[in-house]
Amino acid sequence: MILADREIMQALEDGRIKISPAPNLAEQLGSCSIDFRLGHTFMVFEHSHFSYIDPLHPQSIGEAMRTIEVKDGEAFIMQAGDFALASTIESLELPDDLLGRLEGRSSIARLGITVHSTAAVFEPGWIGTATMELSNLGRMAVALYPGMRICSFTFEQLTSSVLTPYRKKVNNKYAGQVNPRASGLSEEMSERKGE
């Protein structure tokens, strides 16, 4: 079951869904979703310095990315074909019986910008900001401004609480993140090598 606007408002009021800073519901609440805003921090691949990424070597991922901070009123320019990681201003905390689903906004998609490659599900027990995988699928560069509504979240009720919420998973890689974080795939690969 996907939560409707009245159920999202009730979940916020009851503290089941926690969003910080508190959203402006008049602007951000949709019929069955709530919009999140683009943060100031972006991570981009330095493809001119590195020819490939090797998930077996964490330095390959970390060294291949550069962090960019964009000030209020300034734009991050997404060139055609570009890819960047970015985070939301809002931090989200989910209870153990709700999952969140990050979705693109139609107005952003119509410019050629996608907000996730495949990572749309935020498991029950999630806590932290959302890292988006931004891509410009269009043929023209697009200016993205911190503070603009960039994505929305819908919420789905599970049939029961999960046994292990995401924030309590032993090997969770992203719980509690504040800024975008590069892929943790190398951690997963090195764990398998150690088995």
Q: Residues 64-114: pLDDT tens digits?
A: 788 999 999 999 999 999 999 999 999 999 999 999 999 999 999 999 999
- Token pair for 169: 């998973």
Residue 139, CA distances (Å) to 78, 142, 178 in order: 11, 9, 31
* E-state strands within 26-184: 34-45, 65-69, 76-78, 83-93, 98-104, 113-114, 121-122, 127-136, 142-144, 149-157
Q: Give pLDDT, residue 128.
A: 93
- Annotated active-site residue 191? The verdict is no
Mean pLDDT (the chain) is 88
C-alpha closest to that of 149 among 24, 15, 44, 3: 24
Considering the candidates 13, 69, 74, 133, report the single residue annotated as catalytic: 133
Question: pLDDT for 18-37, tens place per residue?
Answer: 999 999 999 999 999 999 99
Provide the 3-class DSSP secondary structure of residue 117: coil
Q: First vs last Cα of the chain: how many Å apart?
A: 39
In terms of pLDDT, which residue wins out, 66 or 51? 66
